Structure 1
Amino acid sequence: MYFTLPSFKFENGETLEDVKVEYTTFGTPKYDENGKISNAILYCHGSLGRYASMRKILPLSGVDEAFDENKYFFISITALGSSGSCSPSLTNLKNKFPKYSILDIVNFEKQFLAERFNINHLLGVIGVSMGGFVGLTLAIEYPDFADFIMPGVSTYKVAGHDFILSRFVNEIIESDPDYNKGELTYSLIRTLRLANLAEFNFGLSKEALRNMSNEELGAEFESFGNESLDVDIYDLKYCNECCMNYDIEKDLDKIKSRVLIVACKQDPHFPPELDAVPMSEMIKNSELIVMDSDLGHLCFNELETISDELKEFMRGFDDS
């Protein structure tokens, strides 16, 4: 489904008109005495994902499951900057698209919720990877907006090896003299593939990769590179820079929402000991679940393995 915002103002002051938002919903909306939806949960996908990423929680949407669709109303939005919603590719502005931040993504989704559904308060936010950045930033900037935040395989700042990975992707893209042309060339297609291949090692766990033969790894590497050609290089560059500048460490004490942090022991992007554990110690009223999954950073595809823990956390919001 699509909705159009009359205009959207970026943090840097730039404004775009007729701003397209791609979204989907599922579940059962419930209304308070003022006619407002009272059980809405916003799902936020990872970098350059789309609204359909919400399928990761569908296995737990049955009766009496953690995300029972009879109890909750889920809204999933394709984020600002991702193809499908307002982005360098969709607007065809390419490298003339306004630079955006995680706060811009938050404000984009918040404005959409208000204008499309008249929602000014959420029951919760579930965010995966970059979606966790969005949920946590929302909880800091608008402390009373959501009752709970559930960041998964995420962090409070892009630093260390993850920052260097982002810098490396940037270097690859900026090294192509065709980037500033604002149009797709053969050279940029090759550069796009190389930039995406830099990310290959940061999805599945080291254990999963080691258990493949070199022939299998080579085939997976080749397939990953070919599939990445569906991504627009300008969408990639803008999103990469947005994430590279993310750092909310000094503001974590402003969070009032209940927080459930979901991490994965084998996550090569955000190892729990460096990201989830210190974040849980810095956020008041937070809980931490560390999954054990060879899927690593992709572990949200196996949420069923922590269904009991998720169900226990969600019980606190059944009557909200």
Structure 2
Amino acid sequence: MSGEDVFMDEVQPSYFKIREFQFDSGEKIRDAPVEYRTTVKPSSEDMDNAVIYIHGWSGDCSSVRRIAALTGPGGALEDFPIISISSLGSPGSASPSTTSMGKDFPEYTILDMVNFQRQFLNERFGIRRVKGVIGTSMGGFQALQWAVEYPDEMEFLMPLVTSWRVRGINYALFSYMNHLIEEDPELRASRRPERALSLASMLMYLHGLSREYYHGLDNAELESSMMDMGSEGSLMDPYDVIWRNRAAMKHDLSGKLERIRARTLIFGVNQDRYFPPELDVIPMAQLIPGAELVLFDSECGHLGVNEIGKYNELVASFIGGD
């Protein structure tokens, strides 16, 4: 079995409730559900040196499979407890859909998402400082925010295919998705806007992979893939999407990255169309004190993050401080 198979087949999601969570706006929710996975039994009290994995925009706690080559047998993270949490606003944890609050669910920020994870770790495991935080894409927004706001709470930081701010095409995509959904007559009539959600998902699909990848598909394959993504997207909750996009659109750590004290290893993909290295990870590495940067090629573009296992030895050396 691969490391991914071991993690996904043998470790099932666990659930916890935060007694009361207060948003940065002052609003509060009680008994906030948290969905999470760990590579140790959830009852374990031995959570020293925990490494936190934070998923991207459309993921959940199972998205830790993206780094399975690092967490599985022989991986750089094999000996560390891994905790992967479904983020605030994502189904499984407290969100408009999971709480049935819909549009009455408080709007949240990236900082709220970080504080949600921190409060969970403290209440569930008594953890106040972790070995490291790894974040992919929007999870990287959270990892960076965590390192900026609470610089003494982690030893290392690994932002993967991400940025310290949302600008340009990313802002436009999030904004356009919200326009599609919010202006749909079905939503205004308090019904699920399935068509708008489907189109929004198709739009995301068209940017997730490299131009070379799309060019390698024949038109029938491309159409089929678009329709599959649209079908999956139509099942999303509209307010989960809208609130998550609004949080992402406000993400901007300009002028704050110098606060980071954690040893930092950044990964970027040259063909990433969401976060082109020259616009995002390269300048970010220059702004974070002592940061190391790894760039690699992948026809999978943004999703090339799944190939991070080929840098297992480098990650092991980085974590060991060699």
Shorter-chain TM-score category? over 0.9
Residue of 276, 294, 298 corresponding to 1:293: 298
Residue of 135, 139, 152 corresponding to 1:131: 139
In 2, the alpha carbon distance for the partners of 1:252 and 1:98 equals: 27
Structure 2 unmatched runs, 5+: 1-13
Residue of 66, 69, 82 corresponding to 1:56: 66
In 2, the alpha carbon distance for the partners of 1:110 and 1:97 equals: 20
Asked if 2 retains the 8 angstrom alpha-carbon contact of 1:158 and 1:245, the reply is: yes
In 1, the alpha carbon distance for the partners of 2:70 and 2:47 equals: 22
Deviation by residue 1:77-136 (Cα, 9 ceiling, x = unmatched)? 000000000000011111111000000000000000000000000000010001100000
Residue of 25, 50, 53 corresponding to 1:12: 25
Residue 60 of structure 1: how far off its partner (Å):
2.4
- What is the number of residues matched between the two proteins? 308
Pairing 1:75–2:83 present: yes
Report the counterpart of residue 48 of structure 2 in structure 1. Answer: 38
Residue 300 of structure 1: how far off its partner (Å):
2.1
In 2, the alpha carbon distance for the partners of 1:223 and 1:129 equals: 22
Report the counterpart of residue 313 of structure 1 in structure 2. Answer: 318
Residue 18 of structure 1: how far off its partner (Å):
0.8
Report the counterpart of residue 161 of structure 2 in structure 1. Answer: 153
Distance verdict in 2 for CA 1:62–1:90, change over 3 Å: closer
Amino acid at match of 1:221: M
Pairing 1:2–2:15 present: yes
SS at match of 1:6: strand
Residue of 108, 115, 119 corresponding to 1:111: 119
Amino acid at match of 2:195: R
In 2, the alpha carbon distance for the partners of 1:61 and 1:21 equals: 22
Pairing 1:252–2:240 present: no
Residue 180 of structure 1: how far off its partner (Å):
4.5
Residue of 89, 92, 98 corresponding to 1:84: 92
SS at match of 2:135: strand
In 2, the alpha carbon distance for the partners of 1:261 and 1:184 equals: 42
Asked if 2 retains the 8 angstrom alpha-carbon contact of 1:28 and 1:73, the reply is: no
**CA-atom RMSD, angstroms?**
1.8
Distance verdict in 2 for CA 1:177–1:280, change over 3 Å: same
Amino acid at match of 2:211: K
SS at match of 2:321: helix
SS at match of 2:98: helix
Amino acid at match of 1:49: G
Asked if 1 retains the 8 angstrom alpha-carbon contact of 2:129 and 2:154, the reply is: yes
In 2, the alpha carbon distance for the partners of 1:36 and 1:113 equals: 13
Residue 314 of structure 1: how far off its partner (Å):
2.0
Amino acid at match of 1:216: E
What percentage of residue pairs aligned between the two structures are identical? 41
Amino acid at match of 1:37: M
- Give runs of ≥4 in structure 1 deviating > 6 Å: none
Deviation by residue 1:167-196 (Cα, 9 ceiling, x = unmatched)? 111211121144355x434xx111111122
Residue of 93, 96, 103 corresponding to 1:95: 103
SS at match of 1:202: helix
Structure 1 unmatched runs, 5+: none
